[in-house]
Structure 1
Amino acid sequence: MNARRDDVVIVGGGPAGSATALLLAREGVAVRIVERARFPRRKVCGEYLNAGAVEALDRLGVLGAVRERSAPLRGVRLVPDGAPEVTLPFRRAALACARAVLDAIVLDAAVRAGAVLERGRVEEIVVDEGQCVGVVVRGDEGSHERLARYVVGADGVGSVIARTVSLTKPQRRTARYAVGGHYAGFAGLDGHVEMYVGGGAYFAINPLGPDRANVMVVVPKDRLAQWSADVDAGIHGAAAELGRGIRSFEGVERIGPRVSVGPLAHEVLGAQQAGALLVGDAAGFLDPFTGQGVFLALTSAERAAAALLAALRDAASERSAFDDYARWRASDLAWRRRLSKAIGLLIDVPALAERAAVRLARFPDAGAALLDALSGIVPPQRAFRPAVLGRLIA
C-alpha cells in the first residue's frame, strides 16, 4: 500500500464533511475528502434550509451561489390528524434547495480552497498505538492507505467511522423509513412547507418551484414492507390518506429517481474518540420531521473545524478541544432530540394535536418562538419555557 500523510482526512463529502474541509483548507490545513459517490447525487432529504442553515452558509461564503438556485420559503403548514390546519410563518429567511445543488456548491468551494477530493470507499481505519491515524480507501486502482493526524467521520447514518471506533450506540426504538423524490404538477404551492401527519407517519411537500416539489413519505418499517410489490402505489396511497383530500398525487408525476433511506435512527456514545471526530448525521441523527439536518451538519462542521485547528496548532490542546466539541454536540443534540419528541407527541396524538392547534391560533408568539428554536435562531432549550411549549399543552 502507498501511504500519503495529510493533516486531516474527512470521510464523506456532504454538507458536514465539505464545510469542515472548506474551513480547514482556508486556514492552510492539508485536508483530503474521501467520497464514494459521484456528484451530482440525489439523496433522501427534506431539502429545507432553515434560518440557521442559511446564516451558516453565509458565514461559509457560499450563500449567494446557493440562493441563486433555491426557492424562498415563507413558513410551515401543519395538518395533523383530527386537528385544524396550522400555518406558522418564518421570521427569518429560509430556502428550499435540492441536495444535489447544495452538496456540489459546498464541495466545490472546499476544493477551490485547497482540499483534495478523492473518489473511493473507506473500508477500515488505520490504528497506531490506539490512535486513529488514517483510513484504507478502495478506489478504481485498488486499496491504499490515507494517513493523517486526524480523521473526521462525515459519512452519515450508519457511519463507518463511528462503527469502527466503537461509538455506535445500539438502537432501542423502532425506526421509520423515508421514501420520496422530486415531483412536478402540484397546484397551489405557495412557499410553505406542507406537513401532513398522523398514525406515526407523515407526508411532506417542500416547494422547489411553482409546481415542482421535494416529496417525502415517512412510515414505520412494517408499513413500508407492505409496499414491496409496488412502492409508488404505496407512496400515493399514504399521501392520499395523510393528505385528507387536501393533497394527493393526482395529476402529479415523479421527475428523476425515487430515493429511499432507513432506518431513520443513528445514535452514538460520543462525537470523538482516539483521534477521530464525528460531524453531521454521523455524530447523531434526528428524525427529519423538524428539518434541522442541514443546519446541524453545518454548525457541527464549524465547531469541529475549530477543535481540529486548535489541536493542529497545539498538540497539547487536542484533548480539551475534542472533549469540548463532543460535550457541545451531545448537549445540543440531546435538547434537540427532546424538542423533536415533544413536537412529535403533540402532533401525532389527535387530542393533543387539536389542543395545540387551538393554542397556536390563540398564542401565535408561542408558535413563532418554537420555530425560532427549531431554526437555530435561539438555543433549543428555550422552547421548553412555560411561554412556549407550556402554552401549547396547558
Structure 2
Amino acid sequence: MKWNKIAPLMLVSVTLAMSGCGNQAAKQDSKSAATPAATATAAASQAPAKKLTDVKVVLDWTPNTNHTGLYVAKDQGFFEQEGLNVQIIQPGEGGADAMIASGAAEFGVSYQEGITQGRIQGVPLVSIAAVIQHNTSGFASPVAKNIKTPKDFEGKTYGGWGAPAENAMIGSLMQAEKADAGKVKFVNIGEADYFTAVKRDIDFAWIYYAWTGVDAELRGEPLNMIYLNKYSEKLDYYTPVLATSEKMIGEKPDLVKAFTAAAAKGYQFAIDKPEDAANILIKAVPDLDKKLVLASQKWLSPRYKDDAPRWGEQKRVIWENYANWMLEHKLLEKNLDVDKAFTNDFLPASSK
C-alpha cells in the first residue's frame, strides 16, 4: 500500500523534475540560439559607416541652373550612395579646366570649345557627359536695338571678353548673310552685367538664354535672340559638359563611373521635378534670386536631355563638326583627335 502511494508521487516528481529540466534547457537553448543573432545585430549597429571617397567638382562660373544636377545629387544623397563625399567649389584664377587638368579637382564643369582647345595644346581633358543636349547660347540685344539677324550687326557695338572665338563666331554668322564683319565694333566688357552694359556701352552680347534671357523676361526687358545653332549645325556644340582628366579615367575608372552615375541621377531629378530641384539649388546657394532660379529651371529642365536617348549622351559628329569649324576659322592649329576628347562609357544605361 505504501509503495502504491509513493510510486505515483515519485513518478509525478520525476516527471515534474524532467519537465523543469526540459524547460530550463529549452530556455538555455533559446538563449543560446538568440545570442548569435543578437550579437550580429549589435555588431552591425556599432560597425563604422562605409568610408566615403573625398571628391572635388569645380564649377565653370558662379552657381546657376547649369549646375543644378550636381547640387541635387549632393542634397539627395546620390553621391553618398555611390561612396563619394563631393565638395562643389568655385574656379580659381586659372579656371575650371586648369584645375581639372592639374588634379586640383577630380571633376569639373567645362565646355566643348575649351576641351577642344586644351587637347590641341596637350592638355588631356575628357568630356564625360553633356549637361545640355543643344547649344542654348547666342547673341542677345534689347528689342529697341532692332538687331534681328546677323546682318544687323553692321554698325553696332559688341560687348565681349576678348576671346578669338567671339570674332570668328560673329564673322561666321555675318558671312553666311553676306554682311561685313568689319563694320562691327568690339568692346571688352569682361564680367560686366549684360543689362547695365546694353544701357551704356554696347548693343549686343553673347549670353546663355537659360539665365540671362530668362532674367530679361522677368525684368520686363524683352530682347532679340540670335541662337548660334539656328545658323549652322556646326555651332550646335555641347556647352556645358562635365569633364575629368585622362589620368582619372586611366587610374580610377570606378570613381569616374560612380561620379557620373550620381550626377546623372541628379540631372534626371531636375528633369522630372524642376521646382524641387530649383529649391535645392536655392537652399544650397541662398544668395541667388529665387524667382530667377525657379523660372530658369523650368525653362532649362526639358533641355538637359531633350531629344537624346539618355541624359549626358554625346555624339561624335557634334565634336567633329565643331572642331572642323574651329579649324576652318584658324582657332585650332591642327585636327582634333575626336575620339579622345569625349566618352559615353561612364554614363549609366539609364538615368532613371
TM-score > 0.5 by shorter chain: no
TM-score under structure 1 length normalisation: 0.25
Bigger fraction of residues in helix: 2
Bigger fraction of residues in strand: 1
Q: Which is greater in Rg?
A: 2
TM-score under structure 2 length normalisation: 0.27
